[in-house]
Amino acid sequence: MSTNYTEENIRSLDWKEHIRLRPGMYIGKLGDGSAHDDGIYVLLKEIIDNSIDEFVMGFGKRIEIKLDDKIVEVRDYGRGIPLGKVIDCVSKINTGGKYDSKAFQKSVGLNGVGTKAVNALSSNFVVESFRDGELKKAEFEFGVLVNDHKIQKTNEVNGTRFTFTADESIFKKYHYINEFIENQIWNYAYLNAGLTIKFNNRLFLSKNGLYDLLDNKTEESNLRYPIIHYKGDDVEFALTHGNQYGEEYYSFVNGQYTTQGGTHLAAFREALVKTIREFYKKNYDTSDIRASIIGAISVRVQEPVFESQTKTKLGSLNMAPDGPTVKTFINDFIKTHLDAHLHKNPNVADALKRRIEQSERERKDMAGVRKIAKERAKKANIHNKKLRDCRVHYTDEKKDKHIDTTIFITEGDSASGSITKARDVDTQAVFSLRGKPLNCYGLTKKIVYQNEEFNLLQHALNIEESLDDLRYNNVVIATDADVDGMHIRLLLMTFFLQFFPELVKKGHLYVLETPLFRVRDKKDTYYCYSEEEKQEAINKLRGKAEITRFKGLGEISPDEFEGFIGENIKLKPVMMHDKINIEKLLDYYMGKNSLERQNFIIDNLKVEKDIEEEVAV
């Protein structure tokens, strides 16, 4: 079969067509709002970044953000866009003030794309600029200018206002989760002391920068020593150790939360190890120093180079074109201040040393167990069918390419069989549990290696050493919608919270929402996720409906399942709020206080009769 390739095959796309045709190039993945890095949050971030850059340059100490259903409004009090360039700045690629280094120094966004991407990917987009008593307003639909208002007089204070609604034809069935937005806003507040951000009538303000970040993220009882915090020109860090497993870092560049780290985070981790070894004059193992660490690093880089448009990973090697390397700059700052702090605070130095030596003892105690477990895992991977793997993985290529990969953790042959037949074999894997997993609350990590299910699961995820090599960025618990399924869900959550809390904190853990009912007649079929939706479907079919209650995933045919784990997948993120005490949380839900839990269930129990009455109302 031959295919003609002529001049007619060559197309030239204008700016908005290219963004709409290839949105992933500009904002990463699309998603429906269930994940913190889904496209709708990137759109919001791109607008806020402009306001932050104004604040960094010394203009405007307040930003107001409103979310009403799906309409987003962002108002800052900076200088405002020059009125004659308002339309160009939101609709012409490579147009913006950040190319002029005199107007913007150490800015987040330098490529002039962000606001244009928001415009192109919004069904409605309005920009208003207030400057010296005058207002310029322009309205767009899907990136097309539909109303170019004349400049008029105004009493509004200088600044800009952006109002947009993300295009539902691109971001299908999307919804905002306020907690994701609030986390986003808090990060802006931590990195910009003196800035007040108002989100739907709630104020966000930080006076102590990264110290406040760690203080808000951790409960004092979990800290092995008081937070160490230092801030200098273009660099700031905060550091402590806790009692949890794993490492926990927050890294920033020019006020931007770099979720995937980069050269600055690598330099921070190396500097900590080097400084601590030199202070104690002992060659501690790197893993023992970093175990249970909670740290944050922020740098301001002139002309930063990011490895993706979404700016989640720093690639710059130097602080400025003619400046020191990022590695040297951070290492010198950490060595100077951390070393001095440990000398001045012997109690902190002793507590840090005890934490390191505890990790050392635990690691050596686990060495034999881990070796045996690895051998068992290798044999199991060859001979058993627990993992139906996918063809590509999260770490196969650079993460900034946003290869979305998913692993469904399910129980039983019938459920895993249905998902396996319906899945996308390129990006979706299935891990099948054998019965209920062990309640691991209160157990040490040794149990992860000794228990076959847990050992194989951690190897399937590839998280034994660190989260850096996680093979699937979406870890999805897929259990039946009954009591047993809920119990298995809680046991798996306990496993991750107990031994891999950073996987939860970084937004990788989800619960698959599958329909409870199928309501259909000869023409139409509705899949319902609640009693309310079931009643609505019955009403639509005027009562002449066949109703099926799905009690197990195995009851859903592969053809049907394809719709629930494909484009229309519904994932509920497992989220951890700030200052949550994992120990107390797990003790309450998974500990031995059975009477207390029993009373809670009795007090909050809703029987079927109660639900039917609510639906009727």
pLDDT at 610 over 80: no
Q: What value does the mean pLDDT take over residues 559-563?
A: 83
Do 15-204 and 210-361 fold alike per CATH? Answer: no
Contact 403, 397 (CB under 8 A): yes
Res 8: pLDDT: 55
Closest CA to 242 of 261, 226, 257: 226
- Categorise residue 105: left if φ over 0, alpha if ψ from -120 to 50, beta otherwise: beta
The DSSP 8-state label assigned to residue 451 in this structure reads S
When pLDDT is averaged across residues 178-196 and rounded to a whole number, the result is 91
Q: Which residue has 């002391």 as its token pair?
A: 193
Q: What is the mean pLDDT of residues 47-61?
A: 89
The CATH code belonging to domain 384-514+552-580 is 3.40.50.670
pLDDT of 63 above 70: yes
Q: Is the pLDDT of residue 477 over 90?
A: yes
Residue 146 has pLDDT above 80, yes or no: yes
Which fold is adopted by the domain 210-361?
Ribosomal Protein S5; domain 2 (3.30.230)
CA 71 to chain centre: 22
Structure tokens at 176: 């905002």
506 confidence band (pLDDT: 50, 70, 90): confident
**pLDDT recorded at residue 281:** 95
d(CA 191, CA 278): 30
Q: What does the pLDDT read at residue 355?
A: 94
pTM for the whole thing? 0.82
- Write the pLDDT tens digit of every residue in 395-448: 665 444 557 899 999 987 777 888 888 899 999 999 998 878 888 888 888 888
Cα-Cα-Cα-Cα dihedral sign, residues 187, 193, 195, 196: positive
In sequence order, the 6+-apart residues with CB closer than 8 A to the CB of 513 are 529, 570, 571, 572
pLDDT at 601 over 80: no
Residue 366 and residue 361: Cα distance in Å, rounded?
9
Residue 359 · residue 292 · CB < 8 Å:
yes
Q: How does residue 260 score in pLDDT terms, banded at 50, 70 and 90?
A: confident
Q: What is the pLDDT of residue 5?
A: 47
Burial 254-283 (b: 16+ CB within 10 A, else e): bbbbbbbbbbbbebbbebbbebbeebbeee
Amino acid 4: pLDDT:
61
**513 pLDDT higher than 50:** yes
Q: Identify how many contiguous H helices and E strands the chain contains and give both numbers.
A: 21, 23
Q: How confident is the model at residue 569 (pLDDT cuts 50, 70, 90)?
A: confident
pLDDT value, residue 30: 85
CATH pick for 15-204 out of 3.30.565.10, 3.40.50.300, 3.40.1160.10, 1.20.1300.10 = 3.30.565.10
The mean pLDDT of 137-156, rounded to a whole number, is 94
Sorted by where each begins, the domain ranges of the chain are 15-204, 210-361, 384-514+552-580, 517-549
